[in-house]
Homo-oligomer: A and B are copies of this chain.
């Protein structure tokens, strides 16, 4: 043991004995205690307690490697290091203007007891609102290149918690959340209920995705996730019901391996955000703090933005992506109308899907050469539209649907990004609909994880911002690549059009406790027409919110890239409500989660970047409710003009979704509002300081 110096914050038992040390580290506020112990046979177990309550019972750490062929499960602990960090940093954009990174760190060096005595390190970082730990493989004679066959990390839960879960799936995260006891997980049955997901690779009945959310009978809220997923596959979890133990299930590659690594190497952080206040979870910056700082030296070209676009009208049957069939949406005249609309109402961008040749035969055939990303359909005059948009002060947003053929995209990416530069387009929505090529790879595998990062890195070289759809779940990499503005990576608003389960009213009240912990989501809210039979009278599916809730989503689902997803003609009918979408910022100085319960409701307030104005969003599930809104976040002694976009008294997502009231009033920080939310309803408020 080279280093037995232990910070005061760490209590060590048995270190002198060396064989079976027990080491503990607390969070700065001492609420959270992580204890690591070594058993006589060499197993290393960690456990997590929060304010005296057990969160993770003693759980195993380890690996199986296929090259060299060895299991790393029994160790000698050779060194124990600790440190503390308390720094503050500024994100390029985000929910808050600055972020405090305050944590205690414990790093144990473990030497595997079997030949060739591989050394690894497990590093814990403990914050007041949770912890992360990762494995590190230092450079060493015994290990250079190695192949991970399995990660054995376990999470043994203390009780059979209420759990918000999605089926474990190597290719899709576009599920609804299920809420059951942990022991009642049935992932295959849940996946079978989801008829509208194009591609599913369900792992098995007891496999679930992260982020996973638990609420405990003793009042805790616990999110299990990962941070800084780089050069490693997505971690899914296999549940052993008798022991309530979740074990890492890494996404395999085409030949069944999990990760190809070269020392020095490290895994993503395995994270637990823990609090006895539900509001702490959406406010947590733990995931961001566990990511590396930005690699972009001068990010002045990165701009949060709002956009409209040629997209929803294809979903609801007004137009088609493909040119064949006579309903091609992305023709010059149609797109001009979107540009006009964007310019008139102050949107930054116009997304155009279906602009490029290939949509006649793009999906479902595992076809490699589909799109070339540089050839517009003949009825889409890109040159004239670029000029027209520029003249109107609007930018087109590029669309790169890869159809899952990533080899094709990678070999054309430079040309595609150069083409964007040439045309003055600096934001691209990427898409990965369909089975991945290289065949046998998955959306969640190491190869694809590296691809997504490669896109972010190369896009940065071209000063291009990214909005990735059908990519793996985000894990805070927008700190490192702030040009990666948003991703989909969950069930987004487009599923309102799905015939089977759609978007339930509760879905958006769960996202802030799960998917959004990893990063901004391009959910595409702003639907103002709720019946979706506008162009196809046979459609019975509908949007399951009120209009006011659609507005509130711009606050409750943070993204620096927000779409106003509906058709211009639907907005023209509600220009007073559109005003909120026009006004709402996409970059903030501060965020306060005022009230929240996952699956039920959330109420948040955010301060506009660089201005004294605040915006509030409140949403509820299928139940109407009243939420108290104290305005103590406003500057004392100042008057604010408040504009409330609220559900009308008779509003109801099922019977009367478009009934809203716009109310203006003057308020101060002493004012106390009560927000009355309809069933499936919401409320959005603007506060402008006088």
Contact = CB atoms under 8 A, between A and B. Distances in A.
Contact of A411 (B253, B366, B411, B438): B411
B411 A260 contact: no
Contacts of A254: 254-255, 438-440
A365 B438 contact: no
A666 interface: no
B438 A368 contact: no
A413 interface: yes
Interface in A442-458: 447, 450, 454
A407 interface: yes
The 3 closest A-B pairs by CB, nearest first: A438-B438, A254-B440, A145-B365
Interface residues of A, number: 27
A255 B440 contact: yes
B367 A260 contact: yes
A441 interface: yes
10 contacts: A147-B366, A254-B254, A254-B255, A255-B440, A260-B365, A368-B450, A411-B454, A414-B415, A438-B441, A439-B440
A262 interface: yes
A688 B367 CA distance: 56
A240 interface: no
Interface in A413-437: 413-415
A562 to B, nearest CB: 32
A261 to B, nearest CB: 10
A365 B411 CA distance: 23
A367 B262 contact: yes
Given A407-B407, A410-B410, A413-B411, A367 B145 contact: yes
Contacts of A361: 144, 262
Contacts of A147: 366
Nearest to A256: B440
Contacts of A255: 254, 439-440
A524 B365 CA distance: 43
A239 B489 CA distance: 49
A506 to B, nearest CB: 38
Interface in A104-162: 144-145, 147
Contact of A260 (B368, B413, B438): B368
Contacts of A407: 407, 410, 438
A631 to B, nearest CB: 53
B260 A366 contact: yes
A617 B145 CA distance: 48
Contacts of A413: 411
Residue among A145, A254, A441 with the most chain B CB within 10 A? A254
Nearest to A255: B440
Contacts of A144: 361, 365
Contacts of A253: 439-440
Contacts of A441: 438
Contacts of A411: 410-411, 413, 454
A152 to B, nearest CB: 23
A652 B144 CA distance: 48
Given A254-B254, A411-B411, A415-B414, A365 B262 contact: yes
A266 to B, nearest CB: 17
Interface in A231-266: 253-255, 257, 260, 262
Interface in A257-285: 257, 260, 262
Contacts of A415: 414
A587 to B, nearest CB: 33
A336 to B, nearest CB: 34
A605 B368 CA distance: 46
A558 B559 CA distance: 63
A253 B438 CA distance: 10
A254 B445 CA distance: 15
Contacts of A366: 145, 147, 260
A461 to B, nearest CB: 12
A39 to B, nearest CB: 34
Interface string A377-413: 0000000000000000000000000000001001101
Interface in A592-629: none
Contacts of A260: 365-368
Contacts of A145: 365-367
Nearest to A409: B411
Residue with the highest number of chain B CB atoms closer than 10 Å, among A366, A414, A440: A440
A438 B447 CA distance: 9
A678 to B, nearest CB: 48
A319 B662 CA distance: 81
Contacts of A450: 368
Nearest to A413: B411
A438 B255 CA distance: 10
A361 B260 CA distance: 14
Given A254-B254, A255-B439, 17 more contacts: A144-B365, A253-B439, A253-B440, A254-B255, A254-B439, A257-B439, A260-B366, A260-B368, A262-B367, A410-B410, A411-B454, A414-B414, A414-B415, A438-B440, A438-B441, A438-B447, A439-B447
Contacts of A367: 145, 260, 262
Contacts of A440: 253-255, 438-440
Contacts of A365: 144-145, 260, 262
Interface string A541-564: 000000000000000000000000
Interface centre among A147, A413, A439 (most CB of B within 10 A): A439
A254 B411 CA distance: 20
A407 B439 CA distance: 13
Contacts of A410: 407, 410-411
Contacts of A438: 254, 407, 438-441, 447
A251 to B, nearest CB: 14
A147 to B, nearest CB: 8
A361 B365 CA distance: 38
A367 B439 CA distance: 18
A415 to B, nearest CB: 7
A65 to B, nearest CB: 13
Most buried by B among A145, A257, A407, A441: A407
Interface in A150-178: none
A361 to B, nearest CB: 8
A368 B410 CA distance: 14
A263 to B, nearest CB: 11
